Chains A and B, each alone.
Chain A
Amino acid sequence: MSGRQALRLLVDTWRGRFGLAVLGLTVFVAIFGNVIAPYDPTASSLDVLQPPSFDHWLGTTESGEDVFSQLLVGTRTSVVIGFAAALISALLGSAVGIASGYFGGWTDRILDSFENWFLVIPTLPLMIVLARLLDPSLWVLVAVIGLTSWAGTGRIVRAQVMTLRERAFVERARALGASDFYIIKTHVLPNTLPLIFANTVLIIAVAILSEAALSFLGLGDPSRISWGSMLENAFGSGAPSAGAWWYVIPPGLCITVLVLAVTLIGFLYEEIINPRLILDRES
């Protein structure tokens, strides 16, 4: 499938359009959120926990801060963590997966058991422990999420590389005297890249959810607003029982919609690299 066709798949389907639109809007807000925000998101005021009004489109928090502004500014944290953590996980996962799949033998056994270890350990508790041990900051969170979510990618890449290794074109290259590095670079990597990419997109969704979960548990970067920390504040200040829906629903909805969008794109990409998925369902 060519790149043009892949793009068509994105643009022509309802899911693709929705995913792209949401993602585009989110990235835009992530970049310009600070500029668009009508208020300083951390400036307190005496209008405490007010419902949405003309002045405050999404009402105010327990300290009289503007919820809408917090939502805009908090987008950046979620997006940065989602993308950066997914990137780390993709790099780590593909490096380990390719190495263990391509070289096999002892390399595979050691890396694979390492990978199994990460697969088996429940991710959220591990993240909580790591985030507790380290001082919470944006990059610690990125590292924690990235380091705990690569194992799945690694496993998929390893399987793909193992089949590639036995292909005739790889053997031909090896017979012609190509080095391992050359083979990985020109044959293995390009053929696993779409798979890595599709997986990474899905990990973005996981990373965004993980950030929200950790922030909600108070393990996020305290100096940054994120959707998760907004939910934490809302919950901690008793907003749900105060009936302050404007404080709870917007960040929750943003997380849901963004994760949905990313997941839809991820599924589409899976279909691109594995067209049988489409056939199965279309027939």
Chain B
Amino acid sequence: MNTRKIMKIAAGFLAAFALLATAALPATADENGNGGDGGEVLRIGWAQDPQTLNPFIGLDEESYTIWAINWDLLVNFDPEDLSPSPGIAESWEVSDDRKTVTFKIADRNWSDGKPVTSADVKWTLETLGEEGELFTSYTDNVTAIRTPDPKTVVIETSKPDARIVGGLLIYILPKHIWDKVPLEELTTSYQPSLPLVGTGPYIVTEFDRGRQITMEQNQEFSGPEPKFSELQFIKYGNQDAVERGLQLGEIDLVPEVQAATFERLGEQANVETVDSPSPAFTELAFNLCPEELCPDANFNPAIQDLPVRQAIAYSIDRERINQIAASGTSFVANGLLPSFYKSFYQEPDETYPFDPEKAKQILDEAGYVPGDDGIREKDGDRLSFNLYTRTRSESAYNAQAAKLVAEMARDVGIEFNVQEVSVDKLTELTVRQVDGKPAPDFDAFIWGWGGDAYDPSFLLSLMTTGEIGGSSDAFYSNEEYDRLYAEQSGEFDVEKRKEIIARMINRLQEDLPYIVLTEDPNLQAYRTDRIANVEPACPAEDGDIFCEQAGYAPLLNLEPASGASSDDSSGGSSGILIAIIAVVVLGLIGFFVVRARKRRDEPLEVDEPLEKDEES
């Protein structure tokens, strides 16, 4: 279970990063804060809202968005370049062996006026880091957390771990509130009471599940005063309605826009779109779980035959998927590591360019010959696979990509039966266990991952044997890869690490546990007549509006647009509305004409009732 949550978290993280980009220039904002007297409400629209605000059990990326505003991390991310910047800790010192880090806690207060102490940090890292569904992986290497005094925290790790500073994505909670609740309740049903005591610029004061979350300014916040007095997160239920809401001026900001509507939204009056790179991708994954690890796995064994996967890779035109399913907003991916990681990315040796002839040739050589229906088979093994994907309402892009993959693979004689399932169902299929052993129940699926923007380790870990039963969903296992993974995580020299990572990626491109289809940017939109001073953040220059799950810093820079007016312009969909009304009216007219005409029809001859015919 932890796996998927982590994935979701990561995805959320990415999205957050994109958003932050806009807010990245706080200093400038302070200078020309015209009209920033805090009377305005910033309204953010989304399709789904968090199920809970309890970080022990919350899984949605929407939860992260709220948490990241309500609370701080021990060490925050600098929206400029995602480097470590003061959070709960104002400074830190790393020991020479890199195994001990001493943090100095900043002089800050919780929103209820109590001071933030080292006890809060220790309690959170130990409790949330041990028990929180989504947070356990970050403290894997931590051996001890000591609190010599209320303003000092010492963290010791078993081996050097770069995540302790600048990668410990665990929101620090107020111990004096949370430790009153029994752990058992925290990890099951606990719903935090409001206002949600925190250290961020805004705290949740109202959570109307299914409708709206209201966050008001935290009077104890130590940083610069935010320009908006209040945040409202409004749930619309579906993405289309969210974007409509933005056009109509009901909301000011959409943190996640669909690829299909991105361009159109940008053409609307007073709407600006932001397209920021993110370490997220969409992949076609295969079930490679070896017999000894997953004795009860359920799949078509042909999928584990390498030539079949190679042929699939050559049969897929990734640019076409990008053009049709992602409306050209994504980028063709080459291998597991997104080019987002500029310091580590290197094009792999094998990129599988679109080449259906080569795909056919590989299958011919491997002995798969087309049957009567064009689907290839060998010794009765038909190349017919199930292909799961999320439903269209959950990801229009994934569902459409699955359809295209099936269409293209069909051309070389491989059949994919696309099945759209809910995220819950898809999770169930991939994490299924029988007798305590993984027993994945699929041949292939299309889904996505988002990495941590500051480090590629998370994405690379997906293919390690150690993650089978954890985050791994292709159930790939390769000794060389595992060894290289361990090697790169301990390598602090960027060039050397890049070399190792390149070897890992080449390994994967040969074995093809995933065919990574596209790298997906984060797409956002906001109203220019409502929000000013939007600067890309996380990282600066090409990041997004605010670093959604990574922190709140960019949010502080956003300010109400000076000319904020209700100059609503309803866009292009009025045409269709008129057309629909016209059809309905025509239908009604037709109906009455029919009725009217009826009266003028000639009187019809009338027979005797049927029964009498018989009776006579």
Contact = CB atoms under 8 A, between A and B. Distances in A.
A240 B396 contact: no
Contacts of B590: 260
Interface string A253-264: 100100010001
B391 interface: yes
Interface string B302-325: 000000000000000000100111
A159 B536 CA distance: 74
A59 B580 CA distance: 17
Given A14-B601, A187-B614, A236-B393, A63 B606 contact: no
Contacts of A2: 607
Given A12-B601, A238-B240, A63 B573 contact: no
Given A15-B598, A168-B615, A191-B611, A282 B576 contact: no
Interface string A239-283: 011111100110011001000100010000001010100110110
Contacts of B575: 243, 245
A167 B615 contact: yes
Contacts of B320: 44, 46
Contacts of B579: 245, 249
A46 to B, nearest CB: 6
Interface stretch (B58-66, B162-170, B400-408, B506-514): B400-408
Interface stretch (B132-140, B258-266, B357-365, B377-385): B258-266
| Band of interface residues on A | 35 or more
Interface residues of B, number: 50
A21 B396 CA distance: 39
Contact of A264 (B396, B594, B599): B594
A234 to B, nearest CB: 10
Given A46-B324, A249-B580, A249-B583, A242 B264 contact: yes
B594 A15 contact: yes
Contact of A243 (B240, B324, B327, B576): B576
A275 B606 contact: yes
A221 interface: no
A194 interface: yes
The B contact surface, by secondary structure, is helix
A40 to B, nearest CB: 10
A42 interface: yes
Contacts of A187: 614
Nearest to A235: B240
A217 to B, nearest CB: 11
B27 interface: no
A194 B610 contact: yes
A167 B616 CA distance: 12
Nearest to B404: A44
B583 A191 contact: no
Given A243-B575, A243-B576, A13 B606 contact: no
A13 B573 contact: no
B535 interface: no
Interface in B527-586: 572-573, 575-576, 579-580, 583
B324 A248 contact: no
A63 B404 contact: yes
Contacts of B180: none
B587 interface: yes
Contacts of A168: 615
A5 interface: yes
Contacts of B610: 191, 194, 273
A279 B604 CA distance: 9
B202 to A, nearest CB: 31
B97 interface: no
A48 interface: yes
A252 B583 contact: yes
Given A14-B597, A44-B404, A62-B260, A236 B576 contact: no
Given A44-B404, A242-B573, A243-B575, 18 more contacts: A1-B606, A1-B607, A5-B607, A12-B602, A15-B598, A48-B327, A62-B260, A64-B324, A194-B610, A222-B419, A222-B420, A236-B393, A238-B261, A240-B240, A245-B576, A249-B583, A252-B583, A271-B604
Interface of A: 1-2, 5, 9, 12-15, 18, 42-44, 46, 48, 62-64, 163-164, 167-169, 187, 190-191, 194, 218, 222, 236-238, 240-245, 248-249, 252-253, 256, 260, 264, 271, 273, 275, 278-279, 281-282
29 contacts: A1-B607, A12-B601, A14-B594, A14-B597, A14-B601, A42-B407, A44-B320, A44-B403, A46-B323, A46-B324, A62-B260, A63-B325, A164-B611, A167-B611, A169-B615, A187-B614, A191-B610, A194-B610, A222-B420, A236-B392, A238-B243, A240-B240, A240-B573, A241-B261, A242-B572, A243-B573, A245-B579, A278-B603, A282-B603
